[in-house]
Structure 1
Amino acid sequence: MPRIISANLNGIRSAHKKGFFNWIASQNADFICVQELKAQQADMTEEFLAPHGYHGHFHYAEKKGYSGTGVYSRTRPDAARIGFGCLEFDNEGRYTRVDCGDLTVISVYCPSGSSSPERQEAKFRFMDVFLPHLQELKAEGREVVICGDWNIAHKEIDLKNWKSNQKNSGFLPEERAWMTRLFDELGLVDVHRVVAPEAADYTWWSNRGQAWAKNVGWRIDYHVATPGIASRAHAVSVYKDERFSDHAPLIIDYAL
């Protein structure tokens, strides 16, 4: 049964020091999608590139110490693709795709708009170009799982303090409506919610205050999938026994 993990590392070197690669060894995952590498190719050690015999493919941002995505696969992919064809965001290292047999697995790191109005505008631009790409992807007719940090909490259940965040990036009406279009118009599936429709599961906690200790979190990391593979999901968990990042790994098991 394929196990697919999504993990925003908030720096691959930092996550390594906190034991992320030791943890990987115990997970028996088929694919591990990582985001926010904050590293360039020159920073990548052999352990980062191919831990425990995995095959790694990575998309590095041009800006040092910023963004970046990757996919580790147990078997060597038939094909790999870096970037999705939009120069602005491909320069930020936001998209890594691997094809293994009939399955496509993608690691995506959608922009955050919380740092400035300019970055929020960039986030809206990303949403505008990424939706047509997802339509093209679905039209390929393959089974697809897009894992990553989408930087949007879709519904009220997806963050603790939803009332006070309705005007904040990550829970804006436009962002939430965009996520709804993925599911209602494109027919993609929020896999977590298939398996655990009512669970108040969060995947990110602010470093401010006591957010982690009080579990004042947001669910902004997702597996978004085509209906066929989504229907085979049967177990979901958010790993919180150790902290590798300000995000927690999202683990979903799919039946063969």
Structure 2
Amino acid sequence: MSGTVYGVGLGPGDPELMSVKADRLVRTGKHVAFFRKAGRPGHARRIVEGMLSDNAIEFPMEYPVTTEIPVADPLYNEMLSAFYARCTDHICALVAAGEDVVVLCEGDPFFYGSFMHLYTRLRDDVAVEVVPAITGMSAAWTATGEPITWGDDILTVLMGTLPVTTLSTAMERADALVVMKIGRHLPKVRSALEAAGKLERAWLIQHAAMAGQTVTPLREVSGDVTPYFSIVVVHGQGRRP
């Protein structure tokens, strides 16, 4: 008999925000895989600290590259493609031996997550079940204490890695806005928001639903770099009764 791969969404960081199903799979999983940067424990693994069974066999999948090479460099894709292929081979071997594998996924597995690269390589050959979860952006806008959308508001999600003109054009058209992957792109995101006339309504949320969560109007934020777990939110102002 073949096993099943479970892509388990852990939510934004607080273990209490995991679904009942995710909690059960994490606590009972024999083979538990998770992504991490070399030399780091990995955020997904940190979320489930103290939850794994005593006999769980961990499989840390360490990225060969993160920010050391520009994403436009062909070598970047080559290294990551080979990395995902190795991880897929290891997981497939476990499944062929009849073992289930739980893959820990930060946020939701199908929302800008590394698991998607495994999923597309696995789904035609083995049984894969995806367990959805609360996204980091949901935790971010909830942390502001204000609804993100009203009535017919259009919500737009952007990556801070995009060119400033692309950002500003999309921001101008959006009613409600979420910007992810900010990091060292904060000055560019700030400039694009200003050009779109939305800087005064923008909030920067760091470490949403985690220890050390902060919620700050973006206009009050100094510095040009923000932590990896940072999201900018602009609330919609649409129709309401």
Whether TM exceeds 0.5 here: the answer is no
TM range (shorter): 0.3 to 0.5
- The structure having more radius of gyration, on CA atoms, is 2
Q: TM-score, normalised to structure 1's length?
A: 0.34
In terms of fraction of residues, the more helix-rich structure is 2
